[in-house]
């Protein structure tokens, strides 16, 4: 049985949200998230709309709104993370430019309008039906789609095995996996997107930005 939005919300709880926000305020975006943000900015974000899927405390939309994006929609299965991101938007003075939606993106995708930029930062590696998530997300991207996902290396696979074992022992149903990069690219290509940026950040993470091909739907 597939993991539910409620189970994601139970795992990504208020304690984790508070810890992530504290780190962000003290140190800024994590290196892989920062690399994604900078790659998107290099492609042009002035006046753009953003759809941030599984955005956590909102690092990507906080940073892109500050850099000139017009508005953002954030969809997350964790109510705790949404509440934390919303409070941070209030603190930063751009709450009126962000729409927050609680739920599983795959289930609510049809009700979410397209955006110029769509982002998934470390999301497809924990979502069971990652192919469907990737396809639906890419279909909402009018111009750019940015992703962060684990690199397919032995070290990374062993680390994920250890994380999953710990989660199993704790009785949590959330699991992480390495997704094949060629399959990710094939899904995005079939949705009308072309790879623009592919960058390895540290030993574990891949940052990729895709642009919609002219004339593709």
Kindly report the average pLDDT of the chain as a whole number: 93
Look up the domain containing 174 and give its range: 5-212
> Residue 185: its pLDDT value, please?
95
In a domain, 217, yes or no: no
23, HSE (Cβ side, Cα atoms, 13 Å): 13
Listed in sequence order, the residues at least 6 apart from 174 whose beta carbon sits closer than 8 Å to its beta carbon are 3, 7, 8, 11, 126, 167
In a domain, 117, yes or no: yes
- The pLDDT of 47-76, averaged and rounded, is 97
Is the pLDDT assigned to residue 16 strictly greater than 70? yes
Cβ burial, residue 48 (10 Å; 0-12/13-18/19+): buried
In a domain, 139, yes or no: yes
In a domain, 67, yes or no: yes
Q: Considering the chain, what percentage of its residues have pLDDT values greater than 90? A: 84
Q: For the chain, first and last CA: distance in Å?
A: 34
Per-residue pLDDT of 148-191, as tens digits, reads: 999 999 999 999 999 889 888 888 888 899 999 999 999 999 99
Is the pLDDT assigned to residue 9 strictly greater than 70? no
Number of domains the chain is built from: 1
In a domain, 89, yes or no: yes
In a domain, 40, yes or no: yes
Q: What is the DSSP letter of 26?
A: H
- The pLDDT of 49-64, averaged and rounded, is 97
Q: How far apart are CA 93 and CA 158, in angstroms?
A: 42
Q: How far apart are CA 58 and CA 29, in angstroms?
A: 10
Q: How confident is the model at residue 87 (pLDDT cuts 50, 70, 90)?
A: very high
Whether the pTM exceeds 0.75: the reply is yes
Q: What is the 3-state secondary structure (H, E, C) of 34-60?
A: HHHHHHHHHHCCCCCEEEEECCCCCHH
Q: Please report, for the domain that includes residue 126, its CATH number.
A: 3.40.50.150
Q: How far apart are CA 113 and CA 155, in angstroms?
A: 39
> Residue 6: its pLDDT value, please?
59
Q: How far apart are CA 174 and CA 168, in angstroms?
A: 8
> Residue 1: its pLDDT value, please?
42
């Amino acid at each position: 049985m597939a993991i539910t939005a409620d189970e994601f919300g139970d795992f990504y709880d208020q304690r984790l949200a508070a810890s992530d926000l504290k780190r962000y305020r003290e140190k800024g975006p994590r290196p892989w998230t920062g690399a994604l943000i900078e790659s998107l900015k290099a492609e042009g974000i002035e006046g753009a709309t953003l759809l941030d899927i599984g955005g956590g405390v909102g690092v990507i939309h906080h940073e892109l709104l500050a850099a000139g994006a017009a508005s953002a929609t954030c969809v997350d299965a964790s109510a705790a993370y949404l509440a934390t991101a919303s409070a941070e938007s209030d603190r930063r003075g751009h709450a009126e430019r962000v729409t927050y939606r609680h739920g599983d993106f795959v289930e609510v995708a049809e009700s979410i309008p397209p955006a110029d930029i769509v982002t998934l930062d470390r999301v497809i590696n924990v979502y069971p039906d990652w192919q469907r998530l990737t396809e639906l997300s890419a279909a909402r991207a009018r111009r750019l789609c940015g992703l962060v996902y684990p690199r397919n290396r032995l070290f990374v696979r062993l680390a994920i095995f250890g994380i999953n074992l710990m989660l199993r022992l704790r009785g949590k149903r959330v699991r992480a996996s390495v997704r094949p990069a060629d399959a990710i690219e094939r899904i995005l290509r079939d949705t009308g997107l072309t790879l623009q940026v592919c960058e390895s950040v540290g030993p574990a993470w891949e940052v990729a930005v895709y642009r919609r091909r002219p004339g593709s739907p």
